[in-house]
A and B are shown apart, each in its own frame.
Chain A
Amino acid sequence: DAGVTQSPTHLIKTRGQHVTLRCSPISGHKSVSWYQQVLGQGPQFIFQYYEKEERGRGNFPDRFSARQFPNYSSELNVNALLLGDSALYLCASSSTAVSGNTIYFGEGSWLTVV
């Protein structure tokens, strides 16, 4: 069975531009979360979505938004990119929205803002 898949794997954007990252969860998983991992640090929680509704949001500015589709795939959008947005963006899926349940990560999307 396929794991969590993300696209694109690498991309380069210019300051001020917009980016869309995509994620397909493990088959049967209805919860998708997004994390930002800056080089040399641990991942930081951005959003959790379950059944197309936002369940939780981390301490990120409104330039970050996301949505979940009826097939449970998800998009993360970042507007007005800053140099500090350069990071690995990780998507994770889980079978339920319940805290404590294991989340499984994809390989991530490497975003470089120049």
Chain B
Amino acid sequence: GNSVTQMEGPVTLSEEAFLTINCTYTATGYPSLFWYVQYPGEGLQLLLKATKADDKGSNKGFEATYRKETTSFHLEKGSVQVSDSAVYFCALSPPPGGYQKVTFGTGTKLQVIP
């Protein structure tokens, strides 16, 4: 079956530091890949997505590139802010043809300190 593996947290960074959160996946074919963010006490917000190999998703300074050869979708940001403190989830959706069962990783908590 499909699975997503994320680096364990919490990740603690100083403001303006570089962020990388690793994500690898197991799936057949070409799934769509997502990063969602969850702020304390809230639901999930879509951060970015990529639907095919070598696609780069980007939003609010965050980027992730769909790497089919390494089955990875690592999240990066060049300069984090305190407001980026949240839990980040990597997720995949199967290729078209099936139903919408999104598989999530366990989440990585990011803490940014001033």
Contact = CB atoms under 8 A, between A and B. Distances in A.
A25 interface: no
Interface string A41-60: 11111001000000110100
B83 to A, nearest CB: 19
A94 interface: yes
Interface stretch (A14-22, A66-74, A100-108): A100-108
A90 B42 CA distance: 10
> What is the interface residue range for chain B against chain A?
20 to 34
A42 B43 contact: no
A5 B15 CA distance: 34
Given A55-B100, A105-B45, 8 more contacts: A33-B100, A42-B107, A45-B101, A56-B99, A56-B101, A90-B44, A92-B102, A102-B46
28 contacts: A4-B43, A40-B106, A42-B91, A42-B104, A42-B106, A43-B102, A45-B101, A48-B101, A55-B100, A56-B98, A56-B101, A58-B101, A88-B43, A90-B43, A99-B93, A99-B97, A99-B98, A99-B99, A99-B101, A100-B32, A100-B51, A100-B93, A100-B95, A100-B96, A103-B93, A104-B46, A106-B43, A107-B42
